[in-house]
Amino acid sequence: MANKETAVGAFVIGGVALGMAALVFFGNFNIFSSTKQAVVVFQGSTSGLSIGAPVTFRGVRVGAVDGISITYDARTHGAYIPVTIEVQPGRVTLTGEDHRRTALTLRDLIDHGLRASLNLQSFVTGQAEIDLDFDPASPAVLHPDIATRTEIPTRQSAIQKVQETLSQLPLKDLADNAQAALQSIRQLAERLDGDLPPLVDSVRETSDHSRAAVDTATRAIDDLQRRLDTTLGSIDTLATTGTRQLDARGADLHVLLGNANDTVIQARQSLAGLRDMTSPRSADRANIDSTLRDLSAAAAALRGFASDVERNPQLLLMGRRP
């Protein structure tokens, strides 16, 4: 009987130990690690966020949501949603130049730019989570009248930025412009429906004329090509004939050129002789001058005799008297 009680007690103790181990390794409880509560104050919708939702840092789980409440500010007439979370700031360490690891407090992380944002955990279930990340450029807006614990400033998530951008879009104007564009397209379609058949007929007629013109041009080009072939053949024949005639008359042309050369030489010699004859110092030039003077005197005597005969024709019969 004692052995049975011992076995039952050992079994119970083992079950409790296994349960504690499961809670330590697989649960949201961190018995052997220091946790700290902080507050994240949201002004917008926290749809999908529930108690127990994970708190992550770039996908690494560092805590969970512990509580969600609503606070109304009568002065500003604004509603805020403070969300209490449990985080483990000791999991973030700082490594210096001497490689000594120093744990950071939550306040140190906030001073270094730690910010919280609401992200969608699953598009299927719509569950949300709180994601922590460093963003020093984001302003640290705090709510000391609302937050009773250390507050982690918030920033807009990518989805919230998209939603804000979409909310600022002039959807009504876009819809009106789209409707006007559709109306214009409908009117254009109706106009084209009425104008396209005559246009198609005109295009078809133009195509037929173009085809006829192309056929005529093709025939003219073929005829011109035949004529060019004939002309080129005639030119080739003429060139061949001329070449043969030049070859046959080559000797005659050579003799003709030789005779022309001799004639040029003789003409040059004759010109040289004439130049010598016409020179003022040559004897031939003196003889020619003397002959010209005698001829001039004879002509003058004949002119005087002719004048005398004209005045006295009897001179031809009786002659001059002494």
Crossing angle for the helix pair 171-248 and 250-277, to the nearest 10 degrees: 80
Q: Give the pLDDT confidence of 219-277 residue by residue, as tens digits.
A: 889 888 888 888 888 888 888 887 787 777 777 777 777 888 888 788 787 777 767 66
* pLDDT at position 29: 42
Q: Which amino acid is at 24?
A: V
Residue 221 C-beta-side C-alpha neighbours within 13 Å: 6
List of E strands, the chain: 36-42, 54-57, 60-68, 71-73, 78-87, 93-95, 101-103, 114-120, 128-134
Longest pairwise C-alpha distance within the chain: 220
Give phi and psi for 124, each to the nearest 5.
-80, -50
The span from the CA of 116 to the CA of 134, in Å, is 9
Q: In this predicted structure, what is the pLDDT of residue 32?
A: 39
**pLDDT, tens digit (0-9, with 9 covering 90-100), for 127-142:** 889 988 898 888 888 8
Residue spans of the domains in the chain: they are 1-32, 33-167, 170-248, 279-316
Query: β-strand 36-42 against 60-68: which pairing, if any?
Result: unpaired
Tens-digit pLDDT profile for the chain (322 aa)? 555 566 656 666 766 666 565 544 444 444 434 668 899 998 888 888 899 999 998 888 888 999 999 988 888 788 898 999 988 766 666 565 454 555 567 788 888 888 988 888 877 888 889 988 898 888 888 888 888 888 889 887 766 666 666 666 777 788 888 888 888 888 888 787 777 778 777 788 887 888 888 888 888 898 888 888 888 888 888 888 877 877 777 777 777 778 888 887 887 877 777 676 666 666 766 777 777 777 777 777 777 777 776 777 666 566 655 5
